[in-house]
């Protein structure tokens, strides 16, 4: 039961640590929440290394070379972990970090105590009556409801006291540093706060905070935090590209004639995209553009859905990403037109393929219209994708806020999950938007390809 018990302790500690980090980050500062999270992670890694060390020392073959290597790795990992803990104590709030250290040990103690209580005869007699069990559950719920506002109020008072002490220390620092007067320093600080507050009020509703936003708020004076916050859209886009490439590599590195579930799912997706794109472009030109258009669909779908994961963000909710994707499709479509039609054929396509005197007379009118239509394609692609994904995020934010406001009179840190139905709607609309972007891109490629074959097929079908 020992190793299984430790595995359950680690699982419970992860969930309890995540909740504790969220509560501390919400009611104190993001730095405190980050400290609790790192403290829980440190303790979990420490427990894992201790478990490996005990298994290596007491398990079968404990005196042999592989077991000694595991012992050396465990001891070296512990030393590195203690060094990392010392660094964390200097960089993060020590009190919150210690609370994070203690979370797994508290879970371990509570689980051990619960095993003793639940296995006793007194508990069995108590739980035999359903009314007693229901009364206990109601009593625990009422106790939590009564204690939570007190804890939240105490945390808020602690945060206000810390903030007041920091503000009181700033004039003294100004006197000893640059010789500024306390009133001047306080006035400048108040003006800055007023300006930032006015800017925050005029900024409108904000999206859910991702882990880069939390880091930037936890370390507001660090240059690397500003760098991450400035380029967070690029970071999430590159992260998804790396994950997609890693998934493709794992699916293709050991391909089998009888595929496993993972390889089978990837092959089914690739085959569906191949049939779909070739069905639009035709068997002659379609296979050439399946890699680009299929990757485009998978990449956009992954970016759309990534924002539904907690502490992540959808890069397609930024106009920078959608414009970059649309410009890539636009330039590739023009390249296809020049390569497949030639320069003369490309200009003839923009002029509307004039063949009669009337059509040639309309070229001065049709050429600007076609050029404007080509330039409008990336605008429509980018704005459509950006508007739908950003609208999804704002809709979820609105209903989460409404759910919290609904229970605000109870002073609880949670609310009604009114956003849950819209999460399923977001899954549907994210998939549809990726499909729409890919279908329109495929049609733009089709319009740039030679049409003689399609015309011949149409005439033959009409004659038949």
The structural domains of the chain, with segments of one domain joined by +, span: 2-118, 235-463
What's the sign of the alpha-carbon dihedral 395, 15, 160, 94? negative
Helices (H) and strands (E) in the chain, counts: 17, 0
Q: Does the model's pTM come out above 0.75?
A: no
Secondary structure (3-state) at 127: helix
User: In 153-190, which positions are buried (b, 16+ CB within 10 angstroms) versus exposed (e)?
Assistant: eebeeeeeeeeeeeeeeebeebeeeeebeeeebbeeee
**pLDDT value, residue 287:** 93
Mean pLDDT, the chain cut into blocks of 10 residues (464 residues total): 72 83 76 85 85 77 73 85 84 83 83 77 72 74 67 56 54 46 41 42 64 85 87 93 92 80 90 94 92 95 92 91 95 91 85 81 83 90 93 89 78 76 91 95 91 45 40
**pLDDT value, residue 158:** 55
**pLDDT value, residue 145:** 66
Contact 185, 449 (CB under 8 A): no
**pLDDT value, residue 460:** 38
**pLDDT value, residue 168:** 57
């Amino acid at each position: 039961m020992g190793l299984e018990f430790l595995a359950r302790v680690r699982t419970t500690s992860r969930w309890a640590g995540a909740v504790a980090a969220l509560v501390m980050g919400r009611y104190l500062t993001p730095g405190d929440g980050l400290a609790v999270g790192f403290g829980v992670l440190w303790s979990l890694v420490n427990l894992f290394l201790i478990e490996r060390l005990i298994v290596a020392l007491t398990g079968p073959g404990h005196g042999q070379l592989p077991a000694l290597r595991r012992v050396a790795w465990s001891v070296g990992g512990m030393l590195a972990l203690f060094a990392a803990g010392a660094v964390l104590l200097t960089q993060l709030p020590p009190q919150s970090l210690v609370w994070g250290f203690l979370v797994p040990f508290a879970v371990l103690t509570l689980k051990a105590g619960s095993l003793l209580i639940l296995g006793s005869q007194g508990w069995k007699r108590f739980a035999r009556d359903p009314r007693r069990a229901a009364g206990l559950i109601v009593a625990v719920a009422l106790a939590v409801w009564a204690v939570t506002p007190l804890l939240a109020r105490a945390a808020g008072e602690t945060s206000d006291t810390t903030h007041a002490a920091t503000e009181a220390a700033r004039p003294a620092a100004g006197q000893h540093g640059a010789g500024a007067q306390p009133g001047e320093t306080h006035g400048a600080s108040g003006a800055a706060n007023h300006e930032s507050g006015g800017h925050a009020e005029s900024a409108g509703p904000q999206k859910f905070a991702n882990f880069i936003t939390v880091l930037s708020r936890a370390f507001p004076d660090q240059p690397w935090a500003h760098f991450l916050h400035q380029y967070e859209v690029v970071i999430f886009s590159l992260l998804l590209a790396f994950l997609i490439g890693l998934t493709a590599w794992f699916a293709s590195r050991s391909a089998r004639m009888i595929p496993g579930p993972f390889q089978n799912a990837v092959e089914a997706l690739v085959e569906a995209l191949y049939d779909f794109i070739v069905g639009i472009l035709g068997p002659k030109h379609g296979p050439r553009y399946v890699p680009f258009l299929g990757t485009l669909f998978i990449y956009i779908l992954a970016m759309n859905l990534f924002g539904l994961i907690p502490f992540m963000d959808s890069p397609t909710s930024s106009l920078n990403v959608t414009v970059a994707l649309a410009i890539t499709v636009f330039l590739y479509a023009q390249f296809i037109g020049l390569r497949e039609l030639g320069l003369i054929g490309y200009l003839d396509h923009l002029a509307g393929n004039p063949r009669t005197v009337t059509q040639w007379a309309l070229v001065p009118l049709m050429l600007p219209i076609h050029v404007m239509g080509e330039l409008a394609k990336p605008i429509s692609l980018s704005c459509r994708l950006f508007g739908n994904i950003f609208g999804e995020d704002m809709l979820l934010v609105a209903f989460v806020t409404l759910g919290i406001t609904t229970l605000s009179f109870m002073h609880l840190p949670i609310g009604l999950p009114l956003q849950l139905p819209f999460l399923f709607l977001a899954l549907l609309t994210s998939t549809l938007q990726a499909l729409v972007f890919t279908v329109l891109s495929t049609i733009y490629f089709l319009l740039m390809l030679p049409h003689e074959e399609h015309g011949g097929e149409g005439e033959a079908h009409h004659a038949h």
